[in-house]
Amino acid sequence: MISWGPIIFGLILGLIVGSQIKLNGNDTHFTLGAFIVVFIAGFILAWQSGNFPFYTGPSLSFAFLSALIGIFVGKLIFARSK
Amino acid sequence: MSQGSVILKLISLPISIMLICLGIMTILGGHITPGGGFQGGAMIASGIILSVLVYGIGNSPFELSHLYIEVLESVGALGFVIFGLIGLFVGGFYLYNVGTDILNVVPQAIQSVLHYPDVTNAGIIPYLNIFVGLKVFAGLSAIALAFAGFKKYVEEGE
């Protein structure tokens, strides 16, 4: 059984934090490929975390994964350039 | 302030993102697992602090404005107080755990959105954790940003 609470609130909290990521003034250039690699690494981390925080359902931390998706979506939608 | 190492600058943003995700995960599992709002908020703030330390306050990818920190801090404090007052008026005590079915008007699907399938019912604790996490994240980040900004201010003055 998938619990919707960690997914919804993880997305909201991720959006809140991800809306502040601005990379233009950064001297290390993070491209789209770098973010895809970060997402894959985060997915593996969520998978290895197991079904945390609720111990029912698939072996995947939906809170972690939804927070990661929320950060990227927040960066894409809300984060404006410097 | 910035360390200047390319390796540090390449790796610290991904680590910051992972730290923030772990902090959010800790907040959302605080009612049934070790951790909670304060710990998760401190983990999120540690991600911000790592970026500020490595990139410097001027080049940090996480650029938290004064308004952003102010709004988050206020929302966290207000949410906590409002839940406390709901407990006071409904249950008779401040922060009384009145459960998620307040005045029998909340639909069942919303009541059980953070309900762990067990005999215990967390009630308002997960929502309190979220508000505390927001407040701690904003507060600790503001302290670190203030220290970093003060150091930059002193360096510019010398």
- Closest residue of chain A to B8, computed from CA coordinates: A28
What's the rounded mean pLDDT across residues A2-28?
Answer: 85
Which has more confidence, A19 or B117? Answer: A19
pLDDT block averages, 10 residues each, chain B of length 158: 75 94 92 89 95 87 90 95 91 85 77 69 87 95 90 72
Instruction: Give burial (CB, 10 Å; 0-12/13-18/19+) of B149.
Output: middle
Give Cα B85 to chain centroid, integer Å: 21
Q: Do B25 and A30 touch (CB under 8 A)?
A: no
What's the rounded mean pLDDT across residues A59-76?
Answer: 92
pLDDT at position A48 is 92
Q: Do A14 and B115 touch (CB under 8 A)?
A: no
Q: How confident is the model at residue A47 (pLDDT cuts 50, 70, 90)?
A: very high
pLDDT at position B80 is 94
Question: Which of A17, A34, A53 is nearest residue B25 as measured by Cβ atoms?
Answer: A53
Give Cα A64 to chain centroid, integer Å: 7
The two most distant CA atoms of chain A are separated, in Å, by 44
pLDDT at position B32 is 83
Q: Which long-range contacts (CB under 8 A, 24 or more apart) does B109-116 make?
A: B113/A3, B113/A4, B113/A5, B113/A8, B114/A3, B114/A5, B114/A6, B114/A9, B114/B28, B114/B31, B115/A3, B115/A5, B116/A3, B116/A54, B116/B31, B116/B32
Size of interface A-B (CB pairs under 8 A): 106
pLDDT at position B135 is 95
Q: CA A66 to CA A24: how far, in whole Å?
A: 25
What's the rounded mean pLDDT across residues A22-30?
Answer: 71
Q: How confident is the model at residue A50 (pLDDT cuts 50, 70, 90)?
A: confident
Range from A35-44, A46-55, B2-11, B29-38 that averages highest in pLDDT: A35-44
Task: DSSP letter for B92, please.
Answer: S
Q: Reply yes or no on whether the pLDDT at A81 is more than 70.
A: no
* Residue A59, C-beta contacts closer than 8 angstroms, at least 6 positions apart: A47, A50, A51
How is A55-78 classified by DSSP, letter by letter?
Answer: SSSSSS-HHHHHHHHHHHHHHHHT
ipTM of the complex: 0.91
Task: DSSP letter for B62, please.
Answer: B
Q: CA B103 to CA B42: how far, in whole Å?
A: 34
pLDDT at position A13 is 95
Which has more confidence, A3 or B15? Answer: B15
pLDDT at position B153 is 73
pLDDT at position B120 is 64
The Cα of B154 is separated from the nearest Cα of chain A by a number of Å equal to 22
